[in-house]
A and B are shown apart, each in its own frame.
Chain A
Amino acid sequence: MEWVEAIFSVGTLSATLRLATPIALAAMAGTISERAGIVNLGLEGKILGGAFLGVYVAFLTGSAWLGVAASVVGGMLMGGLLALFAIRFRANHVVAGVGLNILMLGLTTWLMQVIWGSRGTSATVSGLSDWSIPILRDIPYVGPVIGKHSPLVYIMLLLAPILWLWLFRTPSGLRVRMIGEHPEAADTVGIRVHRTQYLCMIAAGALAALGGAHLALGHLSWFSNNMSAGRGYMALAANIFGRWNPIGGALAAMLFALTDAMQMRIQSTQIAWPTELVQMLPYLLTITVVAGAVKRSRSPAALGRHYEPGKAE
């Protein structure tokens, strides 16, 4: 059973964390916006846009961290734009989100050719260097898996519990969840529904773009055409599987990433499994998970609805 060894090696588990980071960050983005009642199908585009901006600014300035900062700012802008469409202009959330994804796919592919003259990959930039955490790396067995990673992996691991605390243990988190369940009631008790929704969408944009920054600057050090490859949609699936909970979403993302790490691992070894079938694994798992998870979970009650202040139901 050489494939079992290949799959459950330290390398695979470490890769799982690395691969889970963009999906987990985007899943948290999905959680925040959907808890505030807005379906966020634009995650894919925000990951892609964040990845591109990060590489471009790192390319211009030579600093990966400036690239990350640019990703975050760009993500906030993209989140704000989608919020503007969904709230102010009352667009169908799903259609507008998919529109943003196609827009970002076209824009990044186009700009890549304008800037670097290639439709495949950008120039290589200096990526984020790994952090090696003193105490963690010395723990037996666990150390090799979580001891040394790109900084954004640790940021993701910290953000999951922080966001959980905020959503479920603070008054402002409660307000957000109330908007997703019953915006009229929230309005009645003085919560500013639309303003909160904008803020949540902007924060979600920053998170998803941070995922993109990890993909392009932490995991690799270049941008490539459509490099998000469906991760934004997987993140939404992870968010649902994780029951609209930041920690649950992050754990679900790790499950997806494990299959992804496994398929990469299998391909790099001598095991002669057909490439295409192995590559299908993460996508198959996503379908299985969404199909299996939805029945047992409940989405925020007012998800996808447009709320008009001062109008009774």
Chain B
Amino acid sequence: MPDSSSRSRRLDRRYVNALREIGLAIASVILALAVGAVLLYAAGYSIEDAYFNLYYGAFGDMYSISDTLLNSIPLIFTGLAVAFAFRSGLFNIGAEGQMYVGALATAVAALHAPTEFSPFVIVFALICGALAGALWGFIPGFLRARTGAHEVITTIMTNYIAILFTTYLVKVSFSDGGPVDQTALIPQTARLPELIATTRLTWAIFIAVGLVAVVHFLLTRTVFGYEIDAVGQNPGAAQYGGIPVSNRTVFAMAVSGAIAGLAGSTMVLGVLHRFITYFSPGYGYTGLAVAVLARNQPWAVVPAALLFGALQSGGMSMQLFARIPADLMTVVQGLVILFVSAPGVIRFLGRTVSFRTWFQRIQSPTSSSAGKGASK
């Protein structure tokens, strides 16, 4: 590579690389929405009607925007959780289950807090949620480190177990006695303060963004973060370099679980005000799409979560007003994951649609990181 010598040139390339990543992410989303349009057309719906309602439901008015933000908050947590685990080379599909146990622990803590001092109750409930999530993430992390059990299989199983187990606990110990399996409402002192009246938006959004900053700091400015990245990029080299790989694996999964647990905590303290069985529309799984789209960069999780939050609220309005099932947005999610996982697809399409020169210009000469092996 003749041009990598001067410093300004290198900065240039980093800039170009970042732009390229963003370009690929945007292209993936557009491509996924385009496939969605084909499906709409094939099923006989009006594409215009569908996507207008999708847009309007996501950004159309203040109510839509606040709904989008509201949907994005749990996705910031779950996306961040998945991204963090991914940095250490682990694919945590268990965010959904970690969120459920976090939510139940938070609800129970809020109901049984030893004091009525609001900040204490909230912090106490959040910590309980994070710890429960951490425990739920610790189990697959420990099994991976100790026995080599693939975390994708074990975390899927811990999801099913978490949902069944929390349902069981609510039925047996924490039910409010009504027809729905749910806990009693948590006291006013335990609820997160409203941010803007009548929008259901709470301080949870600051907790989410604050946590992104903390994780960013952890990953870029601390030894622990460096080690996590080293383990994720090359466990063999990390081991050789003296990093206790299995220890970091367990720790990364526990932290990831704690972050996902907070998704449940803030849902309970900010939105639901109680634990309700089967409350999640799949925030944990959407978190996968968020993390993949964000390329596991903590700050990029925020816009990615906003995008999927927007698709969720837009999808609901599409279902309501255009009578098109909102599950189309799950299709879009799956497609985004597929396209982002294989940047080659976008480049291939770019070439065939003869954007060739444009793509060559923004494509760096080294294209090595296309994909590392999955399991060991």
Contacts and interface: CB of A to CB of B under 8 A. Distances in A.
Interface of A: 39, 41, 85, 88-96, 98-107, 109-111, 113-114, 119, 229-230, 233, 236-237, 240, 274, 276-277, 279-280, 283-284, 286-287, 290-292, 294-295, 299, 303-306
Contacts of A105: 330, 334
A98 B288 contact: yes
30 contacts: A85-B342, A89-B342, A89-B348, A91-B344, A91-B370, A91-B371, A92-B341, A92-B371, A92-B374, A95-B292, A95-B337, A95-B371, A99-B334, A99-B336, A99-B341, A102-B337, A105-B334, A106-B328, A106-B332, A110-B325, A230-B157, A230-B160, A236-B150, A236-B153, A279-B164, A283-B164, A284-B157, A284-B161, A290-B154, A294-B150
Contacts of A305: 373
Main secondary structure of the interface of A (DSSP, over half): helix
Contacts of B43: 111, 114
Q: 4 tightest CB-CB pairs across the interface, nearest first?
A: A106-B330, A103-B334, A99-B337, A91-B342
B371 A103 contact: no
Interface string B144-177: 0011111011101110110011011001100000
Given A91-B341, A276-B171, A286-B153, A100 B334 contact: yes
Contacts of A104: 334
A106 B333 contact: yes
Contacts of A233: 152-153, 156-157
Question: For B330, B338, B344, B372, which residue has the most chain A Cβ atoms within 10 angstroms?
Answer: B338
B157 A283 contact: yes
Contacts of A287: 143, 149, 153-154, 157-158, 161
B147 A292 contact: yes
Contacts of B77: none
A119 B333 CA distance: 19
B375 interface: yes
B209 to A, nearest CB: 26
A91 B340 CA distance: 8
B83 to A, nearest CB: 12
Contact of A304 (B158, B344, B375): B375
A90 B160 contact: no
A88 B331 contact: no
A92 B288 contact: no
B327 interface: yes
A216 to B, nearest CB: 18
A232 to B, nearest CB: 9
A144 to B, nearest CB: 31
Contacts of A291: 143, 146-147, 149, 154
A94 B91 contact: yes
Contacts of A290: 143, 147, 149-150, 153-154
Interface residues of B, number: 54
A296 B118 CA distance: 52
Contacts, number: 180
B289 interface: yes
B219 interface: no
B285 interface: yes
Contacts of B146: 291
Contacts of A107: 39, 330-331, 334
Contacts of A229: 160
B113 to A, nearest CB: 27
B214 to A, nearest CB: 26
Given A99-B335, A119-B325, A276 B93 contact: no
A102 B289 contact: yes
A122 B342 CA distance: 34
B260 interface: no
A272 to B, nearest CB: 13
A114 B325 contact: yes
B352 to A, nearest CB: 13
Given A99-B338, A276-B164, 20 more contacts: A39-B375, A85-B338, A88-B344, A95-B341, A96-B341, A99-B341, A100-B334, A103-B330, A105-B330, A106-B333, A110-B328, A110-B331, A230-B156, A276-B171, A277-B168, A283-B158, A283-B161, A290-B150, A291-B146, A303-B374
Most chain A CB within 10 A, of B91, B330, B332, is at B330
Contacts of A85: 338, 341-342, 345
A286 B343 CA distance: 33
A306 B292 CA distance: 19
Contacts of A95: 91, 292, 337, 341, 371, 374
B282 to A, nearest CB: 9
Nearest to A104: B334
B347 to A, nearest CB: 9
B329 interface: yes
A111 B327 CA distance: 9
A101 B152 CA distance: 13
Contacts of A240: 150, 153
Nearest to A113: B325
Nearest to B166: A276
A237 B164 contact: no
Contact of B342 (A96, A274, A284): A96
A237 B372 CA distance: 22
Contacts of B328: 106, 110
